Structure 1
Amino acid sequence: MSSARTRPVVRIIGGALAAVIVTGGVAAAALAPWPTTERAALGRDVSPDAARSIVACDGPLLALGRDETAAGAITEAAPGALVSGSDGATASEFALSTPDRAAVESPVALAADPAGGERSDLAAASAATLADEDLRGLAVSACSRPALESWLVGGSAATGASDLVLLTNPGDVAARVDLRVFGAQGAQDPVAGQDVVVAARAQRAIPLAALARGEESPVIRATAEGAPVRASLQTALTRTLIAGGVDQVGATAEPAAEQVIPAVDVTVPPDGAASAGGLTARLLATASDTTASVVVRDVATGAEVSRDDDIALVADRPVALEVTGMPVGVYTVSVSADAPVVAAAWTSTDLGAPADFAWSTAAPPIDAPTLVAVAGGPSPVLAVSAATDATVTLTPLSGAAPQTLPVAGGSTASVPLVAGEVYRLDPGEATVRAAVGFSAAGQLGSYAVDASATAAAQLTVYP
């Protein structure tokens, strides 16, 4: 009897002990280090097939409001002389339609097919001059690849300016473009800049005054859907009925915390009667409020001639920084900030003589060989900036002897070029930024050198 009574008790005690043992084992296992197995994700690096290279050009200089019976009419004022070259397959040229005007000389785009399984590098640039009552000066422009987003830093919609935003689609599919204008009141989405349809193989021209009337220091962001487009700006200025210059301005380098404008040409001495020698830098914080520093250095000597620190930038509101009292020379403008910015610099010739001006945009980094087309403008000079020591090799495609350009880290070096030539610029192991400048009496022009698109980005494919 006693054994029958004690059996359930034993079972209960045994179950309790088992639970304790299991619970303790789980706790101990949780505290003890577990064996781990690390396995890298399976992936394969592949290179996409080489694509066709294509660049689009601004085309001729345009005039706005020359027709008294149609103030908004756009007409052609001067043709552009094109220089082009390809490192690979021979480039073909095709004309673009111009629905906003009757074209005498159509803008063009150039394309080159891959060669030997590799993408062909392609470069082109144009130059145009005129000396009319309402427009005069030199305009140089590098043709460039279309993009889904572009930033235009330059121009004005104030009294005396007659600027045009050019949207060029060299592709085979129509694009829809939205233009956002940043000015004194922040970001604006003007009706005239929304849902702009740019047909395949076409160029649209939109007066800047229709987007931001009265805005003195605009910055424009162009975003495209359906197909990439080339966004650029033609800017012209008239002072008291006297033509003050003209320029064609490409997109500046994409937003970044560091921007470099390799060469800004100052041609007016500080004691000039018409204006003090200097330049104006236009900056925009594209994402958030930040502070920026702007340093100006003499290209010839490397000496720092101006420094402005702790420049307060409010997001979406451009800032114009004037740097005056500078001797005649060529200068590099470096911008650093705690958040992404875009930048460009403006300078002009003596306003008391036949005048001209130029916008110099920030240059993108170049870490592989790229082609540079030299437009047929006066006294072309290549300026190359590098953060570390670099040795740049310039090889003319015409077969002339190559030349080397040493660049000390943190400085800019320059070398004269031959107008109408196309060069292969090889930065070696370094990363550089470069621009081509042109200068003569009453003439200024500049454009940045784009990085090559020949190296297709390597992709890692995962199962």
Structure 2
Amino acid sequence: MSGTSRILRGTGRAAIGVVVVAVAATAVVVLGGVPLPAVERTPPSVEVDTMQDSTQRLVCAGAFSVLGADPARPEAAIPVGAPVVSVAGEASETASLARPEGGDGPPEVLAAPSGTPLAAAQVQSVDADTARGVAASSCATPLNEQWLLGGDTMTGVTTTLSLGNPGAVPATVQLSLYDENGPVVGGQTAAVLVPPGSEQTVALNGYAPERGRIAVRVVSTGAPVTASLGIVQSLAIEPFALDTVTRQSAPAERLVVPGVTNIHRASDRGPNDLEDTEPFKVTVRVLAPGDGDGKARVTALDDGKTIDLGEIGLVGGQISELQVPSWPKQANAVVIEADVPVVGGVMGSVDTDKAHDFAWFAPAPELAAETPVAVPVVSGGKLVLANPGEGEAEVEIDPMGEGKSRKVEVPSGAAVVVDAPASATLTSSAPVHAGVRYAEGADLAGYPVLGALERDGVLTVYTR
């Protein structure tokens, strides 16, 4: 074949190729605008019960830790005495957490299969050289994020934070502190390491000294933890009051705080003292942790009506406060309704000629209607039922064990105090909030009924 023939043949093939490519490109353009038959296939899915073979765990705070109980180590939080734990339900296994300072009454860990009614609380009377009063708290489920509000770090007051890790791996805990002026500069501390199966206690006075109000956000990675505050106040060198604070899981626009009371039995009121004021006032504190400002309306609930207490102006990141000049005598709960998500707490007091004590009452979560909830009532405690809803709630209280059930009517916008067995199940016809109040002599304490954490229980898995 001559060179000319090869060139002509190559040229012809190239031309044919160009034509084919052009036709194909045209077809793509044309067909791109024409809807083609589509084959849709939904991926096969399987629903998995994530609650199966899972375990719920509750951690109690353990013996109250007092900063400076050992004069040789004033920076150490030393556990004193031992609490009494009340359990509603039956734990399938129990354990305790180790503490660096040892002592009696270590933090208890209770476990049971998920879905099994189980709740616990503890109460402890403390009468030491540097601390006096009664503290009570709910035993709680470990979380990766939680909030606590109460106390301060002024001279004469110590506020400690106890972190419990019942898991099998270490927890790294980050603390973010807030006060009356906003987020504490430098208050986002270096990580606190909580080894598995242990409890660590740190003093917030060291992170944010001389603060008149204090709140802390607790965020853990590696393992969820429980958190509680311990507050001790002294006047001069004499112990004055103490309490523990139960956590809140997340900010919300409505907080319901059952159990609040203010009791004054002292006879030292002078003839010129105003009858409509109290020497130790109920104090309501609210933190809007976001950047936005807002307002919060505060009301009290008694056994038949709602009483307006006032309004709090909210500045994002700052702890705001309302002091109630005279607490309504029959009131048993506080409701905080804000236009931004908030966390909060309410302090009540008992004052007698012989002694004084205070309690920081924490918000209680809503207990869903027609859902049995385990309720632990410590010895000497009274159950407080709060109904901020629009309809009446009928609450049935069933003893776990011997005894007869009873029904209690809780009117709309009311909070009532009822006797309840140490271990009971509560079922309400409408959503309610519940707490337990301990008030005997010169001692005051309280804690919320936490109920079970909301868990979906069903996970949809898509297979290939």
| 1:171 maps to 2:167 | yes
| 1:400 maps to 2:403 | yes
C-alpha displacement at 1:103, in angstroms? 2.6
| 1:337 maps to 2:328 | no
Are the counterparts in 2 of residues 50 and 119 from structure 1 also a CA contact under 8 Å?
Answer: no
Partner of 1:383: 385
The range that moved more, 292-301 or 119-128, is: 292-301
Alignment partners' CA distance in 2, 1:218 and 1:351: 27
* Alpha-carbon RMSD: 3.1
Q: Extract unaligned runs of 5+ from structure 1.
A: 1-22, 31-36
Kindly report which structure 2 residues correspond to 1:268-279, keeping only aligned pairs within 5 A, or say none.
268=264, 273=269, 275-276=278-279, 278-279=281-282
Alignment partners' CA distance in 2, 1:187 and 1:150: 16
1:41–1:264 distance in 2 versus 1, CA, 3 Å? farther
Partner of 2:92: 91
**1:401 aligned counterpart, secondary structure:** coil
C-alpha displacement at 1:43, in angstroms? 6.2
Partner of 2:317: 316
| 1:410 alignment partner, one of 413, 434, 439 | 413
Q: Which deviations, in whole Å up to 9, do the C-alpha atoms of 1:59-95 show, x marking residues without a partner?
A: 01122112222211222222101112325xx432212
Alignment partners' CA distance in 2, 1:98 and 1:391: 43
Q: Which deviations, in whole Å up to 9, do the C-alpha atoms of 1:348-384 show, x marking residues without a partner?
A: 11265401100001111111321111122x3423323
The range that moved more, 68-77 or 163-172, is: 68-77
Q: Which deviations, in whole Å up to 9, do the C-alpha atoms of 1:170-226 show, x marking residues without a partner?
A: 111110000110113422364783211101110000012112111111110000001
Alignment partners' CA distance in 2, 1:144 and 1:437: 17
1:129–1:39 distance in 2 versus 1, CA, 3 Å? same
Kindly report which structure 2 residues correspond to 1:61-80, keeping only aligned pairs within 5 A, or say none.
61-80=64-83
Q: Which deviations, in whole Å up to 9, do the C-alpha atoms of 1:96-148 show, x marking residues without a partner?
A: 1112x133332221112x3xxx6323211111112334211111111110000
Identity %, equivalent residues: 26
Alignment partners' CA distance in 2, 1:452 and 1:339: 25
Alignment partners' CA distance in 2, 1:458 and 1:407: 34
TM-score (norm 2): 0.83
C-alpha displacement at 1:243, in angstroms? 1.6
TM-score (norm 1): 0.83
1:304–1:128 distance in 2 versus 1, CA, 3 Å? same
Are the counterparts in 2 of residues 127 and 140 from structure 1 also a CA contact under 8 Å?
Answer: yes
Kindly report which structure 2 residues correspond to 1:255-266, keeping only aligned pairs within 5 A, or say none.
255-266=251-262
Aligned length: 423
**1:210 aligned counterpart, secondary structure:** helix
1:40–1:370 distance in 2 versus 1, CA, 3 Å? farther
Partner of 1:325: 326
| 1:150 alignment partner, one of 146, 149, 154 | 146
Q: Extract unaligned runs of 5+ from structure 2.
A: 1-29, 271-277
| 1:200 maps to 2:196 | yes
1:85–1:335 distance in 2 versus 1, CA, 3 Å? closer
Kindly report which structure 2 residues correspond to 1:83-162, keeping only aligned pairs within 5 A, or say none.
83-86=86-89, 90-99=91-100, 101-112=101-112, 114=113, 119-162=115-158
1:325–1:85 distance in 2 versus 1, CA, 3 Å? closer
C-alpha displacement at 1:159, in angstroms? 0.7
C-alpha displacement at 1:423, in angstroms? 0.9
**2:98 aligned counterpart, secondary structure:** coil
